[in-house]
């Protein structure tokens, strides 16, 4: 990942930024690094810690990395697509960037907090903006018990894994596992099994965003499990608890004509 670049005003060559102080960060791709160079020559850039807005240049994966890296700054992030799909990003355009940012719509996301107890007794925590997922570690299917708000809802789920997704992440891994797409304003989480064997007809559930979900590994020796919160993976888990952390807020900026709500609705009607 390229670090921020700062450009000093050089006569008429630099365009003065009105209102907002911008920081630019980019992925390692050639398209993103070239864009970083051009934009930091055109706009006066500051460090992310001094910025009013962080502009992320890359793909959806890099956008997630940026959100995680600067989660403590509480600075809005405006992404421009220099990757492939760019679901969480705006179109790339170097013109009038400060005006676009001033007119952008803010979407506030609350991540999931994953709390893990491993077989060895270690405890770990991590945040997930898209999803928390559990996966089998061996050739044998996983055997998982599921509790919601302290009540057992499934005695045993035999599967390759299971996902708990936020609305923002519902079009990612969750969708690939045939889970539902959730409108961004809905206070819901999607729980979606990965290749469920028993109960064979179970296709998952929609849960209130306030729900606390607990997964129990029913056979830690023969059917070990790992758990992942976006990029953070913990192996040999015994119990995993997932809940929305409303104390953490992430603000994404979207162009009026390409807001996230519209993208999520449109995604449900694609062939």
Write the pLDDT tens digit of every residue in 130-187: 999 999 999 999 999 999 999 999 999 999 999 999 999 999 999 999 999 998 888 9
Q: What is the pLDDT of residue 85?
A: 85
For 217-259, how does the pLDDT look when each residue is reduced to its tens digit (9 = 90+)?
A: 999 999 999 999 999 999 999 999 999 999 999 999 999 877 7
pLDDT at 19 over 90: no
pLDDT at 16 over 80: no
48 half-sphere exposure, CB direction, 13 A CA radius: 21
Contacts with 23 (C-beta within 8 Å, 6 or more apart), sequence order:
4, 45, 46, 47, 48, 50, 51, 53, 54, 55, 75
CA of residue 47 relative to chain centroid, distance: 23
CB 209 within 8 A of CB 187: yes
Burial 21-59 (b: 16+ CB within 10 A, else e): ebbbbbbebebbbebbeebbebbbbbebeebebbbbbbb
Q: What is the pLDDT of residue 170?
A: 95
Catalytic option among 60, 149, 219, 255:
60
Query: What topology is assigned to 112-244 in CATH?
Result: Tumour Suppressor Smad4 (2.60.200)
Q: What is the pLDDT of residue 12?
A: 37
pLDDT at 263 over 70: yes
For 182-219, how does the pLDDT look when each residue is reduced to its tens digit (9 = 90+)?
A: 988 889 999 999 999 999 889 999 999 999 999 999 99
Sign of CA dihedral 195, 201, 202, 206: positive
Q: Give yes or no on whether 22-109+249-267 and 112-244 have one common fold.
A: no
pLDDT at 57 over 60: yes
- In the annotated binding site, the residues are 60-61, 130-131, 160, 168, 171-176
Query: What topology is assigned to 22-109+249-267 in CATH?
Result: Rossmann fold (3.40.50)
Q: Quick check: helix, strand or coil at residue 55?
A: strand
Q: What is the pLDDT of residue 1?
A: 52
Q: What is the pLDDT of residue 185?
A: 82
Q: Where are the domains of the chain?
A: 22-109+249-267, 112-244
pLDDT at 3 over 50: no
Is 60 assigned a catalytic role? Answer: yes
**CA-closest candidate to residue 35, choices 55, 64, 65, 12:** 55
Residue of 263 and 151 predicted with greater confidence: 151
Separation CA 139–CA 149 (nearest Å): 31
* 237-244 vs 112-118, strand pairing mode: antiparallel
Contacts with 121 (C-beta within 8 Å, 6 or more apart), sequence order:
none
For 95-137, how does the pLDDT look when each residue is reduced to its tens digit (9 = 90+)?
A: 999 999 999 999 999 999 999 999 999 999 999 999 999 999 9
- In the annotated binding site for NAD(+), the residues are 60-61, 130-131, 160, 168, 171-176
Q: 212 φ, ψ to 5°?
A: -105, 120
State the average pLDDT over residues 5-27.
59
Peptide bond into 111 cis (omega under 30): no
């Amino acid at each position: 990942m390229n670090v921020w670049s700062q450009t000093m005003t050089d006569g008429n060559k630099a365009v003065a930024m009105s209102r907002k102080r911008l920081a630019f960060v980019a992925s390692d791709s050639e398209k993103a690094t070239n864009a970083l160079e051009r934009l930091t020559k055109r706009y006066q850039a500051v460090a992310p810690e001094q910025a009013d807005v962080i502009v992320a240049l890359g793909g959806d994966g890099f956008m997630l990395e940026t959100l995680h890296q600067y989660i403590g700054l509480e600075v809005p992030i405006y992404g421009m697509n220099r990757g492939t799909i760019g679901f969480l990003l705006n179109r790339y355009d170097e013109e009038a960037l400060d005006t676009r940012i001033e007119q952008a719509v803010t979407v506030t996301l609350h991540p999931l907090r994953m709390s893990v107890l491993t077989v060895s007794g270690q405890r770990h925590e991590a945040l997930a903006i898209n999803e928390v997922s559990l996966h089998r570690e061996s050739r044998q299917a996983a055997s998982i018990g599921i509790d919601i708000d302290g009540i057992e809802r499934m005695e045993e789920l035999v599967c390759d894994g299971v996902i708990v997704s936020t609305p923002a992440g519902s079009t990612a891994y969750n969708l690939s596992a045939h889970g539902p797409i959730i409108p961004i304003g809905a206070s819901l989480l999607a729980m979606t099994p990965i290749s469920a064997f028993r109960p064979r007809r179970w296709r998952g559930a929609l849960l209130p965003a306030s729900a606390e979900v607990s997964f129990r590994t029913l056979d830690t020796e023969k059917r070990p499990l790992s758990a992942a919160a976006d990029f953070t993976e913990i192996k040999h888990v015994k119990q995993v608890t997932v809940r929305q952390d409303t104390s953490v807020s992430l603000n994404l900026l979207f162009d009026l004509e390409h807001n996230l709500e519209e993208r999520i609705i449109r995604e449900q009607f694609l062939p």
